[in-house]
A = this chain, B = another copy of it.
Amino acid sequence: MKIGELSRATGTNIETIRYYERIGLLPPPARTDANYRSYDGGHRARLSFVRHSRDLGFTIEEIRSLLDLSDHPDRDCGEADRIATRHLQQVEEKIAQLSALRDELQRIVGRCRGGLAGDCRVIEALGDHGQCERAH
């Protein structure tokens, strides 16, 4: 299959596919006589793996490690679990952080009564961290 087909099949931008090849995340495919990239099922599965992992928020370097494990079925799988567990922790931290931020924003937004910027509580609150209830 050509790059456009692979793009549609995996929901990945064409430029992104070429980018993944450039950084060594996808192996260079065969080429047609016209120098077009020609992909097979293996490429498709690998790209799906990459996309899915990116959708789950893994970094490129984490995905590199996960792909490496996937390429070596005889290795110990503990590393995959460590990567995923650490990532889960990071996601949980991010959620906690954003929740604190949301609370603070809700307090700030709720205070605007309209009127002039000089009296605006939103602008005042942004200038004065001391008004915040919690760290964020």
Contact = CB atoms under 8 A, between A and B. Distances in A.
Interface of A: 45, 48-49, 52-53, 55-57, 66, 69-70, 72-78, 80-81, 84-85, 87-88, 91-92, 94-95, 98-99, 101-102, 104-106, 108-109, 112, 114-120, 122-123, 126-129, 136
Given A80-B117, A84-B105, 11 more contacts: A52-B126, A66-B123, A70-B117, A72-B117, A73-B117, A76-B116, A80-B112, A81-B120, A84-B112, A84-B122, A85-B109
A136 B91 CA distance: 13
Contacts of A108: 56, 84
Nearest to A112: B81
